[in-house]
Amino acid sequence: MHLRISMGRRRCFSFYNSPLFFIIQFSLFIACISVVDGESNLNKPSFTLINRDLYHTSGALMEEIEALVHRHSDKLSIETITSKNKGYQSEITVVTYCRNRKEIDDRSKFRILLSFGQHGRELITSELALRLLSILSEEEFLPNVDPTRLNNTLDKFVIKVIPMENLNGRKVVEAGDLCERRNGRGVDLNRNWSVDWGKKEKDYDPYEENPGTAPFSEPETQTMRKLSISFEPHIWVNVHSGMEALFMPYDHKNTTPDGLPSQKMRLMLEKLNHLHLEDRCLVGSGGGSVGYLAHGTATDYMYDIARVPIALTFEIYGDGTASSKDCFKMFNPIDITTFNRVLNDWSAAFFAMFSMGANQVDEFHLKTSASNSDKWVSIDDYLNGYLMERRNRYGKKMEVLELGMQEIRTYFRLFLLSSVLLMFMFCSRISKSSRPIVSAITL
């Protein structure tokens, strides 16, 4: 602790110039320092700083990924998507993996979309993105996995990886605000999606959960939404830290979806937990397992609106013993042993999920190929946010309407109800005039 003491000019009275005065003053000074230091040591928690020996800076991590792509341009490609809204700009880098670059647009392949670093303080998630890309490029290998067999499996996939969705928020963390999870203008990107957007629980904390001014108000979520529409993934995983969990929909309510596909999704997560994660993880819906409901999340949108068959949230690490203000330690491993364990365990879990998920999606598609139900969405979905989707006659998704006010859903329902009532009254009046109708029919 550093104290600067400023001594003003003093008048030369005999007592103030005496040795006794200086002895008393020095004693009081030492006592004050002891009290202040004592209070500081008792009340102020020790904060863990970013371990630069383990973690890349955001710039260094992206440079390493770009170099990786350059070395393996036969199977990896990279693009940066820039978006701007009201003077605020975001950049999202997307890395695409396909073993044969010519087959990237082959719609028969299984499509996987992975997002890391949605919250700035969760540095470990972007390190996992780098590890997965290193394995995909074959610069690193999974232990106890036959590379030939793995490559045969990966031949079926196109995988898009967003290593750092919230680059602006990450820069705020690197500047010293280690607890920041929001983007560069203070919006939580995982509360800015349209499903149940804007609802606030009793313990709502704007620092943690600010949903923005409207669904998709942020350039980052606008970019991710457009990517989900154009790519049409079969599997979506949003990767976070803060605990160890394998979550499926829903986040905004304490239930999981009905039906056999949902049951199989849960069984797949339980198997991953047992085989690769030593049964450490919570498994179930985010809203039912994490202890609070989250509204406007990416995974609920992907499942309910984008119709991604397997939409998941992975929580890959958390230190429950850390102080709530010691955010780096709470959300990121701080020693090399734990760091490597997290990356190794979750890399194995991801590649196992790719294979298991592809089989599940394939079976689901075979059972529903004769159904046209996926070509339409409900009125609730249609009116639940900016982006509402419907397939055109060629089966391609398109944007048809953007709405900025949640109240329109209510007004539309009232309009439908009044229309039905008017139609009923009109039909009742016609039914009373049966003769004119019969005459019209006979003509």
C-alpha torsion sign, points 64, 66, 70, 73: positive
**HSE of 375 in the Cβ direction (CA atoms, 13 Å)?**
10
| N- to C-terminal Cα separation, the chain | 102
SS3 assignment, position 389: strand
Active-site position among 122, 127, 218, 315? 315
**Is the CB of residue 57 less than 8 Å from the CB of residue 197?**
no
φ and ψ at residue 157, rounded to 5 degrees: -115, 150
Residue 408, token pair as written in the block: 């329109």
CA separation for the pair 50, 61 (Å, rounded): 14
User: In degrees to the nearest 10, what's the CA dihedral of 36, 37, 39, 45?
Assistant: 140
Q: Which conformational region is residue 138 in: left (phi greater than 0), alpha (psi within -120 to 50 degrees), or beta?
A: left
What stretches of 74-175 adopt beta strand conformation (E)? 76-85, 88-97, 110-115, 157-162
Residue 315 is a catalytic residue: yes
Residue 7: which residues within 8 A CB-CB, separation 6 or more?
none
**Is the CB of residue 195 less than 8 Å from the CB of residue 409?**
no
In terms of C-beta distances under 8 Å and separation of at least 24 residues, what long-range contacts does 256-261 make, across chains too? 256/284, 256/285, 256/288, 257/303, 261/309, 261/360, 261/364
Residues designated catalytic:
315
